[in-house]
Amino acid sequence: MDRKISTAAIAMVLWGVGGAFADRYATPPGAYQTGTAYLENAEYDKAVEALSEAIRQNPQHTDATIHRASAYLSKGWSNRAIADCNVALRLDPSNAKAVHVRGVAYGNFGDMDRALADQHEAIRLDPQLAPAYVHRGAVLWERGQRDQAAVDLDTAIRLTGEAIRRDPTGHRAYTQRAFAHLVRGDLDKAVADCSQAIRLNPRSVEAYCKRGFARRKQGDVNGAIADFTAATQLHPKSIPAHYRRAIACCQRGDAQIELSRYAELFRQDPKQVDRFHGRDLPYAQKSDLQKTVTDLTIAIRLADESIRLNADGPEAYRDRAVSYLALGEFDRAMTDLAAAIRINPRDARSYGKRGFLRIKRNTAAKLPAETDRAIADLTEAIRLAPGLAEAYCYRSIAQLVRGNMASGLADCNEAIRLDTKLAQAYRLRSLIYNTMHQAPQAAADAARADELEARRPAVPRGPVRH
């Protein structure tokens, strides 16, 4: 983590591609090339500042506009990335990269129809553009079109493999292929590709975050925490890196049980919670509970700042809601999810999170009407993104609370069809079968849930070195 190539050095390399490059853009050295160097170095605020200067110097600079869109994406500002890509496409309507980046931004914004349309167009413009196949595959996967998604992901894996053979030092191809493996659930391959990307570029925030996500899915909580720690060190303003590290810490030892006590205490009297923070301790010396609370608090503070600077983007509201939900601040989480949905009424993820939150609110405060609202939100999430297996699982819980056993079983069946590795769905269906006095089916599902959970490596208790 101590190795850091200077921004100036990277800029010199990027600018050293020859005079023709300079003539093309007629932008003085020090703006565009410095901005792209900051982007490569995960210094996104500085990248936006430098690339904005390049655009001021030359408003026709298409590549500077696209790179600034990428920097906005890394900051979690999809709305501004979309605006930049629109400008770039007015300058160059056939620019496949601009269409692709806009598609990624629409995906982050939560508009899957436009995300899919843009990736279609990017592939039409450039049939060899591997990232477009990855992201189109991811959108199709989320929409439940698994066969079509698999074709795209296989194509992306083939194209990135060819790119790696041509240039084994290109870290982005490994990160792109890792994402394809991650969507397909090939976690070992995703981890291996992210590891190689990190070896080639130790400052790849994206590779650390993807590897951390894959490791947490594998049950390697310590590895996930280490990866998210690296991501927060490289990009201290990354809200997802902080709350994902918090979730990983919460999975370790008894922190999850303790966090539920913290949440209850917070609801009773927010002034009593200081003892959970360990504010005077370095992060590495905190307990898992203190680490969890610290990261969630940081994520909320960062989201506050992001919303202050960019109130029209849904990501910060969505991310802050997740942190509030983990801390038991259900009303604040509900307000943030309502804001995200107001900004984008087609945001399936926010509907899904709000549906889950309504189930939690009913459990905590005995609000029966919330169950019906949860079903409505989860139904909308499924309508917008039919491939969200967890949405079916959550709706099954709400159906069971309402006494609709048949509907609950149908939702569980669909969740398992979409994700055969979702242990939670097998566990829930086992409960349903037990209630229906179908002991053999209940036992089979319980065994399958046990098997899936047993595949996760055991998590050692005690302190972890980062």
Instruction: Tell me the domains of the chain and their CATH numbers.
Output: 1-126 (1.25.40.10), 347-460 (1.25.40.10)
Please provide the DSSP assignment of 73-98 as one string.
Answer: HHHT-HHHHHHHHHHHHHH-TT-HHH
Rounded Cα–Cα distance for residues 252 and 457 (Å): 12
Mean pLDDT of 434-450: 94
CA distances from 115 to 135, 138, 154, 367, 380 (A): 8, 10, 19, 37, 18
CA 57 to chain CA mean position, Å: 34
What residue type is assigned to position 252 of the chain?
A: R
Instruction: Evaluate whether 287 touches 348 at the Cβ level (below 8 Å).
Output: no
Rounded Cα–Cα distance for residues 1 and 235 (Å): 12
pLDDT score of 109 more than 70: yes
Res 30: pLDDT: 80
Which of these ranges, 96-100, 215-219, 365-369, 377-381, has the smallest mean pLDDT?
365-369
pLDDT tens-digit map of 59-78: 999 999 999 999 999 999 99
Res 14: pLDDT: 40
pLDDT tens-digit map of 385-427: 999 999 999 999 999 998 999 999 999 999 999 999 899 999 9
Instruction: Evaluate whether 183 touches 141 at the Cβ level (below 8 Å).
Output: yes
Within 13 A of 91's CA, how many CA atoms are on the CB side?
A: 18
Mean pLDDT of 289-317: 91
In percent, the amount of the chain with pLDDT more than 70 equals: 83
Res 211: pLDDT: 97
Task: Write down the residue that tokens 């038991």 correspond to.
Answer: 328
pLDDT score of 159 more than 90: yes
Rounded Cα–Cα distance for residues 336 and 375 (Å): 19
Res 367: pLDDT: 76
Res 274: pLDDT: 55
Instruction: Evaluate whether 295 touches 245 at the Cβ level (below 8 Å).
Output: yes
> The tokens of 257 are what?
């049980």
Rounded Cα–Cα distance for residues 131 and 198 (Å): 18
pTM to 2 decimals?
A: 0.84
Instruction: Evaluate whether 425 touches 415 at the Cβ level (below 8 Å).
Output: yes
Instruction: Evaluate whether 75 touches 51 at the Cβ level (below 8 Å).
Output: no
Rounded Cα–Cα distance for residues 36 and 397 (Å): 48
pLDDT score of 378 more than 70: yes
What residue type is assigned to position 237 of the chain?
A: K
Res 453: pLDDT: 78
pLDDT category of residue 445 using cuts at 50, 70 and 90: very high
